[in-house]
Amino acid sequence: MSESLFADASKRLARAMKYVSISDDALEYLKYPKASLTVSIPVRMDDGSLRIFQGYRVRYDDTRGPGKGGVRYHPNVSLDEVQSLAFWMTFKCAVLNLPFGGAKGGITVNPKELSKLELERLSRGYIDAIADFIGPDIDIPAPDVYTNPTIMGWYMNQYSIIRRQLTPAVVTGKPLSLGGSMGRDTATGTGAFFVIETMMAKFDCPPQQTTVAVQGFGNAGSVVAELLAKAGYKVVAVSDSQGGIYAKKGLDIPSIRRYKEANKGLQALYCEGSVCNIVEHEIITNEQLLALDVDVLVPAALENQITETNVDHIKAKYIFEVANGPITSAADRVLEAKGIYVIPDILANAGGVTVSYFEWVQNRSGMYWSLEEVNQQLKRKIVAETENIWKISQEHAIPMRTAAYAYALQRLGEALSAKGTRHYYAS
Ligand code: NAD
């Protein structure tokens, strides 16, 4: 990732500023991450050799509460990428009115190349390195790309060893047996499904007549694909890092999910089976998936998937950003001019952090909720905020992304001003 990812992310803020009254001081604060940590993590490999991995944690803003954000394990992880993701988390938590600021972490590694034991040593080493930077009232990590509940369990255990105190609220997305929440594993996809349902009703698109393509068949993408298929939408294409599959009549999503589960290679916990291995469909590339003539496109893999290079090929009418930052700001402008409706990441994928918040609340109160309670509370919150953002977008005739940033900016601005700004002291 280059520096441009963060610069690009910041452009969204500039556009939203026109629609809110926010002090210059507050805006100045929001231009910079509050704190960034880069660490070197030594790991003893299975063959006895020593490898040093680079890790990061960025707390972008914690005015509204402790930092909150996932940890990504990927060869492309860089400080710039982590900073951009922490920036998005700040706005996402404000959109959902969660009492959190924004943070993110990452390790530059290809986790598929590590054994399970190497992965555990790396994960525990990461917590050793950042332990003073995180905590239940400081900054709370969670899963992101190529991290999962098992890794969150190691994080919680390692942090508790360091503090000599069981501290479940230091990390969310844990296994249920270690204080995880019901519904956290499916929360991002479930939240996205509630947002899609709410918006498609406004666009007057009945499920049975709506075709969908989903890029990325991981934690977020596979759940949203399955929920959409169950609700009657015709999911015609899905993909993973190896490529995609397409069937005009619609794919049998539950069986594809089962296939992915069954073929999961145990090497380092990651799924080695690709959706490409399933028969009775046409094989397509990720580029072809993005260019399909479908009603709804759901990018649910990584950032920068729709750029100036391929935006002209996009034919979908509605795009729901389940991944973080899948569309560049330059591509956004082209999509807007073409009349393609984009529902932004800071709303569409906010289900994950919302249930992470529920998990944190449950850990601190010692009272645990049923799956029904979790999903009910998630639906209530995310549908209400979708409606609020829709209203702003209609009032000002602006895209949902600008409306979502304006909405979050208002909340952030009020909190920053209440802390003390030039206006505050002048009056
Ligand atoms: P994951 O690791 O479970 O799955 C990622 C999926 O993307 C895998 O199927 C992988 O094969 C696929 N993929 C990777 N590179 C690809 C490529 N170039 N083209 C197509 N597919 C590719 O990760 P996840 O948790 O589902 O996260 C996916 C996106 O959703 C990320 O942008 C993440 O930041 C975002 N997100 C996740 C959560 C969460 O709770 N997991 C919450 C909010 C946002």
- Pocket perturbation via mutation, ligand 1, pick of 172, 219, 345 by most ligand atoms within 8 A of CB: 219
Mean pLDDT for 278-290 is 84
**Alpha helical stretches, state H, 47-172:** 79-95, 116-130, 149-163
pLDDT one-digit tens code per residue, 55-90:
999 999 999 999 999 999 999 999 999 999 999 999
Q: Which atom of ligand 1 is nearest to the CA of 350?
A: 43
Q: What is the 215 CA–ligand 1 centroid distance (Å)?
A: 9
pLDDT one-digit tens code per residue, 136-174:
999 999 999 999 999 999 999 999 999 999 999 999 999
- Residue 284 pLDDT > 50: yes
Residue nearest to atom 13 of ligand 1 (CA): 241
Give me the pLDDT at residue 3, please. Answer: 46
- Pocket perturbation via mutation, ligand 1, pick of 110, 140, 241 by most ligand atoms within 8 A of CB: 241
With residue 7 as reference, give the H or E element that holds it.
helix 4-16
Alpha-carbon distance 159 to 265, whole Å?
28
Give the residue range(s) of CATH 3.40.50.10860 domains in the chain.
Answer: 32-170
- Pocket perturbation via mutation, ligand 1, pick of 68, 246, 263, 302 by most ligand atoms within 8 A of CB: 302
Q: What is the 324 CA–ligand 1 centroid distance (Å)?
A: 9
Residue nearest to atom 36 of ligand 1 (CA): 323
Q: Which atom of ligand 1 is nearest to the CA of 148?
A: 3
Q: What is the 303 CA–ligand 1 centroid distance (Å)?
A: 9
187-348 fold: Rossmann fold (3.40.50)
Alpha-carbon distance 348 to 342, whole Å?
10
The residues that are catalytic are 104
Q: What is the 345 CA–ligand 1 centroid distance (Å)?
A: 13
Query: End-to-end alpha-carbon separation of the chain, Å?
Result: 44
Contact 216, 306 (CB under 8 A): no
Residue nearest to atom 18 of ligand 1 (CA): 241
Closest CA to 156 of 147, 143, 169, 138: 169
Mean pLDDT for 101-121 is 97
Mean pLDDT for 216-224 is 93
Alpha-carbon distance 224 to 274, whole Å?
18
Sign of the Cα torsion 247, 255, 211, 208 reads positive
Residue with tokens 């047996």: 177
Q: What is the 147 CA–ligand 1 centroid distance (Å)?
A: 10
Alpha-carbon distance 237 to 247, whole Å?
6
Q: What is the 323 CA–ligand 1 centroid distance (Å)?
A: 6
Which of 270-274, 279-283, 308-312, 359-363 bottoms out in mean pLDDT, i.e. has the lowest? 270-274
Q: Which residues line ligand 1 (CB under 6 A)?
A: 143-146, 188, 215-221, 239-241, 286, 300-302, 322-324, 349, 352
Residue with tokens 């000002």: 396
Give me the pLDDT at residue 425, please. Answer: 67
Give me the pLDDT at residue 28, please. Answer: 86
Contact 218, 211 (CB under 8 A): no
- Residue 314 pLDDT > 90: yes
Give me the pLDDT at residue 266, please. Answer: 23
Give the residue range(s) of CATH 3.40.50.720 domains in the chain.
Answer: 187-348
Contact 314, 291 (CB under 8 A): yes
> Under CATH, which number does the domain 32-170 receive?
3.40.50.10860
